[in-house]
């Protein structure tokens, strides 16, 4: 009896450790709130990876976005994350004010993706038409220490304001901010996201809105990684003119713990599956291979470098 059990155990081990057998890899994709852009793109990427990378299981995790995502990567609790460029820079430098108690040295970039647009939207009946009009009014600035909240601080500071100038500051995710605005319990929201974000589309169809401009002089005062940008007319219902604003590039980030081969596959499949990403969200249209390897404040993962060299976008 014992000899038969031993033989069975040996046979089982042979199956798992035979030449060519591969252990299953796990990819946890760290996104943001479900009403933002990170989450639908993350769901699409999760499906692409599970369908096209052998022996891989994926999971998509909703989070508070950039800052939390980068901390989770450093802790080994994720394999791929979305993050804003300014948050990524702060994480690499260990900027405690931005929420990073020490340098997150395990971070590695997969590539630059689409820009986040700073979208400040007020209800028409609030009377808010300019940044200065936010003084004394209620404003949602995003979840505490999220990428959006860090963007809010930067924009207000460049416009000569702090949270002390705002009548009431709410630290809320996108969808919750919109719900309060629909119920006339909140005057305005600042959302750092891709154009056509679902939360603001929902708001603009439910009530009349004003999209508040961020003048170029304010953007220039902040400097990189912020750049001047435009929210095109008719991005949202009732928005009949182009609106100047700021943009910050988003990145897909991984960690040094991820193998070179897996990082290569993760990078390759992003750029070989762009139609699927566009179907998931219009922001996918702005993901370009030609600019993916540029501008990152942290090193590219060696697996990503291998892919970019193959495609001739890196020497």
The pLDDT tens digits for 243-296 are 999 999 999 999 999 999 999 999 999 999 999 999 999 999 999 999 999 989
CATH for 116-248, options being 3.20.20.70, 3.40.190.10, 1.10.10.10, 3.90.25.10:
3.40.190.10
Q: What is the CATH number of domain 25-114+250-310?
A: 3.40.190.10
Other C-beta atoms closer than 10 Å to the C-beta of 35 total: 22
Q: Would the pTM of this model clear 0.95, i.e. be above it?
A: no
- pLDDT for 15 equals 39
What 3-state class would DSSP assign to 80? Answer: strand
Higher pLDDT, residue 299 or 36: 299
Residue 147: predicted pLDDT? 87
| Domain-wise residue ranges, the chain | 25-114+250-310, 116-248
- What pLDDT sits at residue 5? 44
CA 80 to CA 253: how far, in whole Å?
6
Residue 10 banded pLDDT, cuts 50, 70, 90: very low
pLDDT of amino acid 22? 54
**244: CB partners within 8 A, 6+ apart:** 213, 214, 215, 216, 228, 229, 230
- Determine the pLDDT at residue 217: 97
CA dist 119 → 19, 107, 248, 279 (Å) = 54, 28, 12, 22
Residue 110 has pLDDT above 70, yes or no: yes
């Amino acid at each position: 009896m014992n000899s038969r059990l031993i033989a069975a155990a040996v046979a089982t081990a042979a199956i798992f450790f035979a030449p060519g057998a591969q252990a299953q890899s796990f990819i946890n994709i760290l996104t943001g709130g479900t009403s933002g852009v990170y989450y639908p793109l993350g769901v699409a990427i999760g499906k692409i990876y599970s369908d096209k990378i052998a022996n891989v299981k994926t999971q998509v995790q909703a989070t508070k976005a950039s800052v939390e995502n980068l901390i989770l990567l450093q802790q080994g609790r994720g394999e791929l994350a979305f993050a804003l460029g300014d948050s990524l820079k702060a994480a690499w430098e260990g900027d405690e004010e931005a929420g990073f108690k020490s340098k997150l040295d395990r971070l590695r970039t997969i590539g630059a993706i689409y820009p986040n647009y700073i979208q400040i939207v007020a209800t028409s009946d609030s009377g808010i038409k300019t940044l200065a009009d936010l003084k004394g009014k209620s404003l949602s600035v995003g979840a505490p220490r999220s990428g959006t909240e860090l963007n809010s601080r930067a924009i207000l500071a460049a416009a000569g304001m702090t949270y002390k100038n705002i009548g009431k500051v709410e630290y809320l995710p996108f969808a919750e901010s919109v719900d309060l605005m629909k119920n006339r319990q909140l005057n305005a929201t600042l959302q750092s996201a891709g154009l056509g974000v679902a939360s603001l589309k929902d708001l603009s169809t439910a009530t009349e809105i004003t999209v508040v401009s961020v003048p170029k002089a304010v953007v220039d005062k902040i400097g990189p990684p912020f750049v001047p940008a435009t929210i095109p007319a008719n991005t949202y219902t009732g928005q009949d003119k182009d609106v100047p604003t700021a943009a910050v590039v988003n990145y897909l980030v991984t960690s040094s713990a991820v193998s070179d081969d897996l990082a290569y596959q993760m990078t390759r499949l992003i750029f070989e599956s762009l139609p699927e990403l566009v179907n998931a969200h219009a922001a996918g249209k702005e993901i370009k291979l030609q600019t993916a390897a540029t501008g990152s404040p942290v090193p590219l993962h060696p697996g990503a470098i291998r892919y970019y060299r193959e495609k001739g976008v890196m020497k």
